[in-house]
Amino acid sequence: MPKGPSLDPKVKRLAMQVEDHPLDYARFEGVIPEGEYGGGTVMVWDIGTYRPEEDESFDGAMRKGRIVFTLGGKKLKGGWVLVRTRGRQWLLMKRHDRYASTVDITTEKPRSVLSRRLLAGIARDEGGDVAKAATGDPT
């Protein structure tokens, strides 16, 4: 998600589908060397649970191109929808609920939920590109 999630139901954010990652990566923070897949500084910005909202299986919803779910994260909570626009491109939208807001959550809560570091701090500590990470661009 190049611009990160929005809590505003009026805002649609591009989300690119990537390959599945092992669950062991869920708590990885550090620097992946340039030239390797996913190269750049990596942060665990949020962590929590998700629950599909419809009776259909996740795989079935994904094949249809519409996934409705609830997040129980430390930062992101409540209802969300992913809608495929084409190929591996999706739009992420916040559903209208008590967690919807016009607050920019990425600006308001920019730190890692694991280490409390900013992206630039992770880059500095782990030997990454601090200038690039300071822009908020992990790659």
Domain positions in the chain are: 12-126
| pLDDT (0 to 100) of residue 29 | 95
123: tokens are 């880059």
3-state helix, strand, coil in the chain (%, to 5): 20, 30, 50
**What is the pTM (predicted TM-score) of this model?**
0.89
CA triple 23-122-44, angle to 5 deg: 30
pLDDT tens track for 24-77: 889 999 999 988 888 899 999 999 999 998 788 888 999 999 999 999 999 999
The rounded percent of the chain whose pLDDT value lies above 70 is 97
